[in-house]
Amino acid sequence: MSDEVDQAQEMSQDFCDRAIEANRRPIRKLQPRQKCYNCDTAVEGNRLFCDDECREDWEFRMTRVRGKYEVFSGAS
């Protein structure tokens, strides 16, 4: 019986680790896709955004999403 409990704890620990890892995934790790991540304008080479304004706009929105998520998880 104690084996079963240990197993269950291990599983939930593993689940938590993965959830934490997914949550920590760096926001900036974007792959260039020949398009601006903010407005879908075509961009050259390995640029992620068409200009600084788009990058700032996108970062601002990402920050807000993260902020919301952190408030939500903190309340539970």
Residues that bind Zn ion (CB under 5 A): 36, 38-39, 41, 50, 54
Looking at the Cβ atoms of 39 and 59, the one nearer to Zn ion is: 39
Pick between residue 41 and residue 63 the one whose CB is nearest to Zn ion: 41
How many whole angstroms separate alpha carbon 23 and alpha carbon 17? 10
User: Which one, of 38, 60, 59, 61, lies nearest residue 50 by Cα?
Assistant: 38
Residue type, 34: Q
Give the shortest CB-36-to-Zn ion separation in angstroms: 3
What does DSSP assign to residue 45?
T
Q: How far is the CB of 55 from Zn ion (least distance, A)?
A: 8
Minimal distance, residue 57 CB to Zn ion, in Å: 8
